[in-house]
Copies of this chain bind each other. A is one copy, B any other.
Amino acid sequence: MAVLGPGPARFWSGFTMVLLMLTGSSRTRDVLTGHNDTWREPSTATQEDHDPDPHNGTNSANHRKAFPVLAFNYGHVRKPFEISLWILLALLMKLGFHIIPRVSNIVPESCLLIFVGLLVGGVIKAMKEKAPVLDSKLFFLYLLPPIILDAGYFLPIRAFTENMGTILVFAVVGTLWNAFFIGGMMFAVCQIEAAQVSHVDLLSCLLFGSIISAVDPVAVLAVFEEIHINELLHILVFGESLLNDAVTVVLYHLFEEFSHTGTVTAGDAFLGVVSFFVVSLGGILVGIIYGVLGAFTSRFTSHSRVIEPLFVFLYSYMAYLSAEVFHLSGIMSLIACGVIMRPYVEANISHKSYTTIKYFLKMWSSVSETLIFIFLGVSTVEGPHNWNWIFVIFTLILCLLSRVLGVVGLTFIINKFRIVKLTKKDQFIVAYGGLRGAIAFSLGFLLTDNEMKHMFLTAIITVIFFTVFVQGMTIRPLVELLAVKRKKESKGSINEEIHTQESKTSVDIMDIITGKTTEEQTVVPPH
Contact = CB atoms under 8 A, between A and B. Distances in A.
A491 to B, nearest CB: 13
Contact of A256 (B41, B76, B207, B271): B41
Interface string A69-104: 111111011001100110110011011001100000
Contacts of A267: 66
A64 interface: yes
A44 B136 CA distance: 16
Contact of A446 (B43, B95, B353, B510): B43
A24 interface: no
A278 B527 CA distance: 42
A471 interface: no
Interface in A212-244: none
Interface string A308-345: 01110011011001101111000000000000000000
Interface stretch (A158-166, A178-186, A516-524): A516-524
A84 B318 contact: yes
- Residues of A in contact with B, size category: 35 or more
B68 A253 contact: yes
A68 B257 contact: yes
A307 B94 contact: yes
A306 interface: yes
Interface stretch (A124-132, A190-198, A296-304, A380-388): A296-304
Interface in A487-527: 502-503, 505-507, 509-511, 513-514, 516-517, 519-520, 525-527
A260 interface: yes
Interface of A: 1, 4, 8, 37, 39-41, 43-47, 49, 64, 66-74, 76-77, 80-81, 84-85, 87-88, 91-92, 94-95, 98-99, 136-137, 140-142, 204, 207, 249, 252-254, 256-261, 267-268, 271-272, 274-275, 278, 282, 297, 299-307, 309-311, 314-315, 317-318, 321-322, 324-327, 350-353, 355-356, 359-360, 362-363, 366-367, 446-450, 452-453, 502-503, 505-507, 509-511, 513-514, 516-517, 519-520, 525-527
Contact of A80 (B254, B274, B317, B355): B317
Number of copies: 2
Contacts of A39: 136-137, 140, 446
A360 B357 CA distance: 10
A520 B502 CA distance: 15
B513 A327 contact: no
A258 to B, nearest CB: 7
Most chain B Cβ neighbours within 10 Å, of A141, A257, A514 = A257
B447 A45 contact: yes
B302 A204 contact: no
B137 A310 contact: no
B321 A67 contact: no
A286 to B, nearest CB: 12
A297 B1 CA distance: 12
Contact of A272 (B67, B327, B506): B67
Nearest to A514: B502
B278 A69 contact: yes
Pick from A136, A300, A503 the residue with the most CB of B within 10 Å: A300
Contacts of A510: 351, 502-503, 506, 509-510
A69 B360 contact: no
Contacts of A297: 92, 95
A447 B141 CA distance: 35
5 tightest Cβ-Cβ pairs between the two chains A and B: A98-B303, A506-B510, A43-B448, A67-B271, A356-B359
A40 B324 contact: yes
A307 B1 contact: no
A92 B327 CA distance: 28
Nearest to A75: B325
Contacts of A88: 314-315, 318
A142 B80 contact: yes
Nearest to A362: B306
A250 B516 CA distance: 47
- Of the listed residues A45, A317, A452, the one surrounded by the most CB atoms of chain B closer than 10 A to its CB is A45
Contact of A307 (B44, B305, B511, B527): B527
Given A40-B446, A307-B366, A314 B49 contact: no
A350 B358 CA distance: 14
Contacts of A278: 69-70
Contact of A70 (B326, B452, B505): B326
Contacts of A80: 141-142, 317, 321
Given A44-B448, A446-B40, A91 B307 contact: yes
B324 A77 contact: yes
B321 A363 contact: no
Nearest to A523: B352
Given A84-B318, A325-B77, A304 B272 contact: no
B94 A304 contact: yes
